[in-house]
């Protein structure tokens, strides 16, 4: 059997295993080992120990558990709940005010946790029953919560950007700098959509009742802003500023961020044995899952490249009309469609290592391309039927919220994400300007 045919069958067998319910890391390892042994015997895997050692000794990847610890600690200590309550009262005087607060919290939690599940579940539990009680349209409320949660995938620091840095061979700092403006632009588009909808359908997003606003005096509100909202915001600004400004390496900044989060929680009076135990447990679980998939992906990648998969992908892209732009559009459409069925981490470890070498050889700016990929992967959390944000929210939503309410609610935000992605494709400077200014 031709090597290229084995490579194609290996890819299809991988997707068959995943769709059959086999966990992704085991599906990667099994398909890679079986077809690698068929094609080359055991000699091919003599390189595997070196590749695994390269993963576990990668200094940059040490930032993953540190950033996860920082974000999970802020979430488990329930500081996010308090921030949402305060920002909600500040912006809740006008129609759509609470929805605006949810987007702003999505930005803050995205920059602190980078974990979609934590943001969607936390915001959903706290706000959805309250929004429904205040008369918010179910679709608008659900769509806003899900969309706000996905901002953690593009606003740095995020696990997606760290993983893309390793896969593409670009620096984490350059990706953080490149993602900042697109991420804030996307959040701004969400806010603009809410403002427009609040003007067109004010009854679907009523303001906070006057008696609730009167229960929190202005002086107390200002003090709470300084005590509760300012410290996490300052921590995020210090961590990102030190990375983007070149003052500290991502791993060093992540370690200071973890320490800073610990201090913020202690000073807020929310530190306890239960909080730190749950934080450490979640950090090990998330980090272990990420590294296990990454290590198993080395088996699949080694076999695919050994079977001539790289040449196969190059031939496929050269066959497409439109040259490099045709290949780029094809990859974006493919990633978007895969997002309906696969998680971002599966797409990152399975598809991207196969396609990125072509764009690297074509001279495409991999920083810009990585931001396009990150924005595209972000939509996988919202696209039915397997968008994880939809599942997370449905799991904590009241019984009167139907699955179709969530699906219909996220549709405008998927359109906004597609529009933002198109803008960054047409105007690369949106992503490349800041890294050029700071010297990355």
pLDDT tens per residue, the chain (440 residues)? 477 788 888 888 887 887 777 887 888 888 888 888 888 777 767 778 887 887 778 777 787 788 788 877 877 877 766 776 777 677 667 787 888 888 888 887 777 666 666 677 767 777 788 778 878 888 998 999 889 888 878 888 777 888 888 888 888 888 988 999 999 999 999 999 999 998 888 888 888 776 666 666 667 777 777 777 788 778 877 887 787 777 777 788 888 888 888 888 888 788 888 989 988 988 888 788 778 877 887 888 788 777 777 677 777 777 778 788 988 998 898 888 887 777 777 788 778 888 888 888 888 899 999 999 999 988 888 887 667 788 778 877 888 888 888 888 999 999 999 999 999 999 999 999 998 887 66
Q: Is residue 405 part of a domain?
A: yes
Q: Say if 13 falls within a structural domain.
A: no
Q: Residue 145's closest CA among 436, 409, 388, 378?
A: 409
Classify residue 12: in a domain, yes or no.
no
Residue 2 falls within a domain, yes or no?
A: no
In a domain, 317, yes or no: no
User: What are the residue ranges of helices labelled H in 225-272?
Assistant: 230-244, 250-267
Residue 131 lies in a domain: yes
- Cβ-contact 60, 169 below 8 angstroms: no
First to last CA, the chain: 46
> b vs e for 51-83, b when ≥16 Cβ sit within 10 Å of the residue's Cβ?
eeeeeeeeebbbbbbbbbbbbbbbbbbebbbbb
Query: Residue 114: left if φ>0, alpha if ψ -120 to 50, beta else—which one?
Result: left
Distance CA 346, CA 205 (A): 37
Residue 265 lies in a domain: yes
Number of separate domains in the chain: 1
> Which pLDDT does position 117 carry in this prediction?
66
Task: Tell me whether residue 372 is in a domain.
Answer: yes
Domain that holds residue 401: 59-295+366-438
């Amino acid at each position: 059997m031709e090597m290229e045919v084995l490579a194609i069958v290996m890819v299809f067998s991988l997707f068959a295993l995943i769709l059959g319910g086999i966990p992704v890391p085991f599906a990667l390892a099994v398909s890679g080992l079986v077809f690698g042994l068929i094609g080359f015997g055991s000699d091919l895997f003599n390189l595997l120990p070196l590749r695994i050692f390269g993963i576990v000794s990668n200094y940059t990847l040490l930032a993953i558990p540190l950033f996860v610890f920082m974000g999970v600690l802020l979430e488990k200590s329930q500081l996010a709940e308090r921030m949402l309550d305060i920002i909600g009262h500040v912006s809740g005087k006008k129609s759509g005010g609470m929805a605006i607060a949810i987007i702003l919290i999505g930005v803050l939690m995205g920059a602190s946790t980078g974990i979609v599940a934590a943001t969607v579940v936390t915001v959903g539990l706290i706000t959805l029953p309250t929004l429904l009680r205040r008369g918010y349209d179910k679709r608008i409320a659900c769509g806003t919560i899900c969309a706000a949660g996905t901002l953690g995938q593009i606003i740095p620091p995020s696990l997606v950007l760290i993983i893309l840095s390793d896969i593409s061979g670009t620096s984490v700092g350059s990706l953080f700098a490149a993602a900042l403006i697109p991420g804030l632009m996307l959040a701004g588009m969400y806010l603009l959509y809410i403002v427009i909808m609040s003007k067109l359908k004010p009854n679907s997003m009523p303001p906070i009742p006057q008696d609730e606003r009167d229960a929190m005096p202005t002086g107390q509100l200002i003090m709470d802003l300084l005590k509760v909202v300012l410290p996490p915001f300052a921590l995020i600004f210090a961590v990102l500023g030190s990375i983007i400004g070149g003052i500290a390496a991502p791993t060093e900044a992540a370690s200071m961020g973890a320490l800073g989060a610990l201090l913020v929680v202690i000073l807020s009076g929310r530190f306890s044995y239960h909080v730190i135990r749950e934080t450490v447990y979640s950090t090990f679980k998330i980090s272990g899952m990420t590294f296990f998939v990454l290590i198993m992906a080395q088996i699949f990648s080694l076999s695919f490249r050994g079977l001539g998969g790289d040449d196969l992908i190059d031939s496929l892209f050269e066959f497409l009309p439109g040259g490099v732009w045709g290949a780029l559009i094809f990859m974006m459409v493919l990633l978007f469609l895969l997002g309906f069925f696969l998680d971002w981490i599966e797409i990152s470890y399975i598809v991207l290592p196969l396609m990125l070498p072509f764009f690297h050889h074509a001279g495409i700016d991999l920083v810009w391309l990585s931001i396009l990929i990150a924005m595209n992967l972000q939509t996988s959390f919202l696209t039915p039927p397997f968008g994880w944000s939809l599942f997370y929210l449905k799991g904590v939503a009241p019984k009167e919220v139907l699955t179709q309410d969530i699906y219909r609610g996220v549709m405008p935000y998927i359109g906004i994400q597609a529009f933002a992605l198109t803008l960054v494709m047409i105007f690369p400077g949106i992503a490349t300007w800041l890294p050029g200014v700071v010297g990355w």
